[in-house]
Amino acid sequence: MTTEIYDALTRLARRLRGPSARLLACKHLSGGASLETWAFEIGEKGASERMILRRRADISSAAVVLTLDLRTEALLLQAALAHAVPLPGVAHVCDESDGLGEAIILRFIEGEALGRKIVGDSRFNAIRPRLAGQCGRILSSIHCMAVPVGAVLPTERAREVLARYEALYRASDLQRPVLELAFQHLRRSAPSDGPAVLLHGDFRNGNFLVDASRGIVAVLDWELAHRGDAAEDLGWLCVNSWRFGHPERPVGGFGDYEMLLEAYAATGTEPPSLSRLRYWQAMGSLKWAVMCLGMYNSWASGKTRSLERPMIGRRISETEIDLLNLLEAGL
């Protein structure tokens, strides 16, 4: 734990709970491409509460994805909670006086976030068959939301997404034959533009909390939210990298396409076709390949010393196998 974070959270505890409040515990949970997450507990007069800090990290290593500011993310969380999307409540949006930089404080929710455990741990055997249906219903709710007042979100269509990631790929100065083939095919077969809806942008196994009896209890990490094709969210959920060793279950490693799309339709919202979903699934594998290249390059260039970057970077070979399988199957 850094002294900076400890001191800032101690001050924040007093701001949220009064002058006698104390910081009881603090733990760094993760360090993503652009945000870091801390779990902490504050207490005052025999009562305590666990919370989550989401904070902008140093992204001088040139993240390859576009992220929303955390104030906008807080607006989205509050709006989605009103639409019955399972979420942690927003306890506080930090300002300059908190000394935490760009940050928000969320209520703590108990649940499992590790995708490998969700698909393989026996604790989730009973709830696992219901997860694909829950994903369909949750995504339908998100896609029916209006963008909340005060939130400005980008809109991206298939060709725009493809062009942005191809530019990032070309800038890497690396040549990967499978990626070259995928860019060509996806450019030729891009679907026509449909309605632009609110998208989570990173809805996948590993970005929601699962309870062994209730299923999905919280959808996490909204910093990639934008407007676009509903099939983008559905396809990203089905990327093989988020199946954690269970490729036979295309939806998150725990369900199938039919379960996902039927649950989406059961809410009264027209689901995209399976072919459109699979186009965006291939796009998702290609995007993840470019992200893996970016992670590797940030380490190889010396911009970051984190070993997490090259470890993620080597997963590009996994995405290339996925793309070849999808292309061979005609998407």
Amino acid identity, position 226: H
Name the CA dihedral angle for 79, 209, 206, 295, rounded to a multiple of 10 degrees. Answer: 60
Query: In the predicted model, is pLDDT for residue 32 greater than 70?
Result: no
Give the separation between CA 329 and CA 291, rounded to whole angstroms. Answer: 24
**What pLDDT, on the 0 to 100 scale, is given for residue 33?**
58
Locate 78 and state its tokens: 């509050």
Give the separation between CA 53 and CA 40, rounded to whole angstroms. Answer: 8
CATH superfamily of 115-328: Aminoglycoside phosphotransferase (APH), C-terminal lobe (3.90.1200.10)
The model's pTM: 0.93
Locate 177 and state its tokens: 């034959």
Locate 37 and state its tokens: 């997450």
Domain map (residue ranges) of the chain: 3-107, 115-328
| pLDDT tens track for 286-315 | 999 999 998 888 787 777 777 777 788 888
Q: Are 122 and 218 in contact (CB under 8 A)?
A: no
* Residue predicted with more confidence, 64 or 34: 34
Angle at which helix 274-300 crosses helix 177-188, to 10 degrees, equals 140
Beta bridge partners of 23: 42
Res. 51 pLDDT band, cuts 50 70 90: very high
Give the separation between CA 71 and CA 310, rounded to whole angstroms. Answer: 31
Q: Mean pLDDT score of the chain, rounded to an integer?
A: 92
Its CATH architecture, for the domain 3-107, is: 2-Layer Sandwich (3.30)
